Amino acid sequence: VMIVFKSASSRDGTIDATILHVHERFLEILLNGSEVISLFSIECCGPPGSRLLSADGDGQIKCWGMTEHLVNSWECTQSSSLDGDPIIALSWLHNGVKLALHVEKSGSTNFGEKFSRVKFSPSLTLFGGKPMEGWLAVTVSGLVTVSLLKPNGTLLTASESLCRLRGRVALADIAFTSGGNIVVAATDGSSSSPVQFYKVCVSVVNEKCRIDTELLPSLFMRCTTDPVRRDKYPAVTHLKFLTRENSEQVLLCASSQMGSIVECWSLRKEGLPVNNIFQHRSPVVGEKQPMILKWRILSATNDLERVSAVALPKLPISISNTDLKVASDTKFFPGLGLALAFHDGKIQILHRLSLHTMGVFYGSSGSSQRVGEEPAIKRQRAGGPTLHFKALQFSWTSLALVGVDNQGKLHMIRVSPSMGQMLDMNTLLRHLLFLLEYCMIHYKDLDFKSVFFLTILWFFCLSWLAVKVLSTRIVAVKASLCKLSSATAARACDFHAKLLLVAISSTLKSLLRPHVLNTPDKSPGDRLSEICTKNNDTDIDKVMINLKTEEFVLDGPPLQSLQQLIQWVEDFVLYLLANLPNQGSIVRPGFGFLRDGASLGMLREMQVMIRIWGLLKPGCLPIYTATSDNQDSMFLLFRLLTKLWLCCELNPLSRFEPTCHKHPLRLQFGKTYTLPGVNPNAQVEVFRSPASQRMDHLRCLHPGISPTEDSKACTRCGCVTMLRSPNKTNAMRQWEQRWIKNCLCGGLWRRIPSTLT
């Protein structure tokens, strides 16, 4: 089984949730009864990673979609069939989105200079230039088939021969050009036969799909022209374009039972030589020398062990000589190496163009060695069949390898960002920060674990505008990093609570409407924030005097339906104030808010809104357990909260210090430090509920001890919420619709069964 996950993926940025749940549920369905030739995920149709393509040895192609946006629940939505014609290559049509990563601009504070969109045409467009969804497949008999998904849900399918004389195709790969064309590389599996290239153009004429093919220049592997190696490697076992968006560079691997050889080829424009008869005639003004396209070999390896799998990097670094020189000068190595897995269990990292060795992994169970780090002693081979990889894939940042071995086990291997090269700490740190920015901007996976301090350093390097725009993503990344260790579990709880607090605040402010349509630039929510920031009065009623209360007038049903969110806000304020006397103790959840002036100010603003709405609809007010019936609990809470906020704003760093270690800590980059008495492998639980009570963390409800409704949980943070909504009001439904596809932290949802007893 060959698995290719292209999850510009999961918006959550983790690789384990998507792979493990698909491996557990989806592959179990597909592998039951038929041989799966290839499995692909999508990055252009709908939310990233929400659709999958599968093809089997019987010519069946199926498009799978998530059921209710759950990663462990899939259903077949579309299918096409070429009965009895096995599929050997499968790809989604290109959506026209191509990103470029500029390594030389890594020190810039302008994200537009670091990451840019490259002009690239979709494979097929609808009216208005919108890319059309669909897929393309190549069969063993040399047939290319295209299926197009129309907006109304119907499927247009067409098939065409790659060339006039159809022949057997053993290997094929698919790439795309900037002009919207598709290039297919194919070989019959024999190294003595040419590797053929075809241009495929897809169009829709009279509501029918049309395919036009054209033969492009072909090539013969150089090893077949070498008298020494002519018969040494009879079979072509791997054929891959170096990148999906570059059809001008291809990687070939020829093998035998004893070994393999790898060659890298490039398509170049060359002048067509003119016969001597025509060289003496007078040239015409403006006449140019005729040009032709010709394949030239870039590099080749020496004799290698037998190759079992090939993985190409996905980091969008341009592979022109100029850009590679810049990457070499800046010593930025991620994305420059490709991985070869061998039948002896070894993995070798080679430069993607020169094919020289950059690092070696010798593959031993229980080994923590990184790719790019040489072992002190080469491990001896064990008896019996050797464990080796049958499929291998790089992560989006090229800092991890995911592979499936010949025993069906899934492995993840960490790749050194230096690729075995000697780099100083500042350079290495700058490169990791650059990749962290790339992950934040484009929702890619983050493959290095010891980066707790990277987020903080990166935060200070950003401009204030970038911090404001990316603040939610920054908090989500911090929460994920802190969840990696039980020593920082309290901070992870704080970050998740802040995500919920920001979401509730924006939802409540969105309900405010200006009294007059022709209003100034500031919205009612902005005016509320400005007044609460300038007014330091501890009396909530005096703060309300400066507001235009008509902007807070709402109907009764929306306010009543939001009572559960309002109750959570007040309970959270009570929890924070109750933690104040515990200064000097071990850090507990909520401690970080005692220094966070922005979050405390946000709580003050919501207190004012709740106070005004309580005058209009008393049923929306939170419920308190007070010591006296005459006590105004909200008035008292606002006064205490304001004093805490003023103390934090005036002197944020001199208060409430937690218990610290008496001795200085010695930290080393790349190695995780574990606090004494803390189990680093302990499971970190961010969301906790009493054993006798269940909690809906998004709706802030208690379903009961044994809820009968199915629930879903976040694959990243563990947040649990009911799968179907019990609410009927529009205000609460709008709140729930915000999280139907992703969790607060950006993680994906998975179905969990009901807890009937």
Instruction: Write a three-state SS string for 493-519.
Output: HHHHHHHHHHHHHHHHHHCCCCCCCCC
- The pLDDT of residue 594 is 85
Least confident of 13-22, 391-400, 729-738: 13-22
| 3-class SS shares of the chain: helix, strand, coil, % to 5 | 25, 25, 45
Least confident of 98-102, 109-113, 280-284: 280-284
Instruction: Assess whether pLDDT exceeds 50 at residue 487.
Output: yes
Residue with tokens 């393509």: 53
| Dihedral (CA of 32, 38, 43, 46) sign | negative
In whole angstroms, give the CA distance from residue 593 to residue 280: 85
Determine the residue type at 86.
Answer: P
In whole angstroms, give the CA distance from residue 52 to residue 78: 11
In whole angstroms, give the CA distance from residue 751 to residue 757: 18
Percent of the chain with pLDDT over 90: 26
Q: In sequence order, what are the beta bridge partners of 704?
A: 694
In whole angstroms, give the CA distance from residue 365 to residue 382: 12
Q: How many other CB atoms are there within 10 angstroms of residue 528's CB atom?
A: 26
Instruction: Assess whether pLDDT exceeds 50 at residue 624.
Output: yes
Question: What are the tokens at 165?
Answer: 């004389």
Instruction: Check: CB of residue 188 under 8 Å from CB of residue 168.
Output: yes
- The pLDDT of residue 592 is 84
Cβ-count burial of 329 within 10 angstroms (0-12 exposed, 13-18 middle, 19+ buried)? exposed
pTM of the model: 0.77
- The pLDDT of residue 113 is 79
Instruction: Assess whether pLDDT exceeds 50 at residue 36.
Output: no
Determine the residue type at 207.
Answer: E
Question: What are the tokens at 53?
Answer: 């393509």
Determine the residue type at 110.
Answer: N
Instruction: Assess whether pLDDT exceeds 90 at residue 138.
Output: yes
Residue with tokens 């949802």: 749
Instruction: Check: CB of residue 724 under 8 Å from CB of residue 709.
Output: yes
In whole angstroms, give the CA distance from residue 30 to residue 23: 10
pLDDT bin (cut points 50, 70, 90) of residue 677 is: very low
pLDDT bin (cut points 50, 70, 90) of residue 674 is: low
166: left (phi over 0), alpha (psi -120 to 50) or beta: beta
Under DSSP, the state recorded for 722 is E
- The pLDDT of residue 462 is 53
pLDDT bin (cut points 50, 70, 90) of residue 686 is: low
pLDDT bin (cut points 50, 70, 90) of residue 284 is: low
Instruction: Check: CB of residue 53 under 8 Å from CB of residue 3.
Output: no
Pairs from 246-253 (Cβ < 8 Å, separation ≥ 24): 246/175, 246/319, 247/175, 247/176, 247/177, 247/183, 247/197, 249/298, 249/319, 249/353, 250/173, 250/185, 250/195, 251/310, 251/312, 251/338, 252/195, 252/221, 253/307, 253/310
What is the torsion angle, in degrees rounded to the nearest 10, for the CA atoms of residue 12, residue 17, residue 23 and residue 29?
A: -70
- The pLDDT of residue 181 is 92
286-338 tens-digit pLDDT: 667 778 889 999 999 999 999 999 999 988 877 666 666 776 777 888 888 89
Instruction: Check: CB of residue 398 under 8 Å from CB of residue 337.
Output: yes
Under DSSP, the state recorded for 659 is P
Q: How many other CB atoms are there within 10 angstroms of residue 260's CB atom?
A: 22
H or E element that contains 460: helix 452-461
Backbone φ and ψ for 240, nearest 5 degrees, come out as: -145, 135
Percent of the chain with pLDDT over 70: 76
Instruction: Assess whether pLDDT exceeds 60 at residue 243.
Output: yes
Domain regions of the chain by residue span = 427-454, 512-657
Q: Pairing state of beta strands 60-67 and 51-56? A: antiparallel
- The pLDDT of residue 660 is 42
- The pLDDT of residue 688 is 57
- The pLDDT of residue 320 is 65
- The pLDDT of residue 297 is 92
Q: Greater confidence, 601 or 322?
A: 601
Local structure of 263: helix, strand or coil: strand
Instruction: Check: CB of residue 69 under 8 Å from CB of residue 749.
Output: yes
- The pLDDT of residue 517 is 62
Under DSSP, the state recorded for 26 is I
- Mean pLDDT for 212-222 is 93
- The pLDDT of residue 86 is 92
- The pLDDT of residue 378 is 40
Instruction: Assess whether pLDDT exceeds 80 at residue 222.
Output: yes
pLDDT bin (cut points 50, 70, 90) of residue 652 is: low
- Mean pLDDT for 79-104 is 88
Instruction: Check: CB of residue 349 under 8 Å from CB of residue 262.
Output: no
Instruction: Assess whether pLDDT exceeds 50 at residue 756.
Output: no
- The pLDDT of residue 443 is 56
531-552 tens-digit pLDDT: 888 888 899 988 888 887 777 7
Of 205, 88, 704, 100, nearest to 442 by C-alpha is 100
Q: Greater confidence, 591 or 89?
A: 89
Least confident of 340-354, 432-446, 680-694: 680-694
Instruction: Check: CB of residue 5 under 8 Å from CB of residue 20.
Output: no
Instruction: Assess whether pLDDT exceeds 70 at residue 119.
Output: yes
Task: State the average pLDDT for the chain.
Answer: 78
Instruction: Assess whether pLDDT exceeds 50 at residue 634.
Output: yes
Instruction: Assess whether pLDDT exceeds 70 at residue 523.
Output: yes
Number of H helices and E strands in the chain, helices first, is 16, 31
Q: How many other CB atoms are there within 10 angstroms of residue 316's CB atom?
A: 20
Instruction: Assess whether pLDDT exceeds 90 at residue 253.
Output: yes
Instruction: Assess whether pLDDT exceeds 70 at residue 34.
Output: no
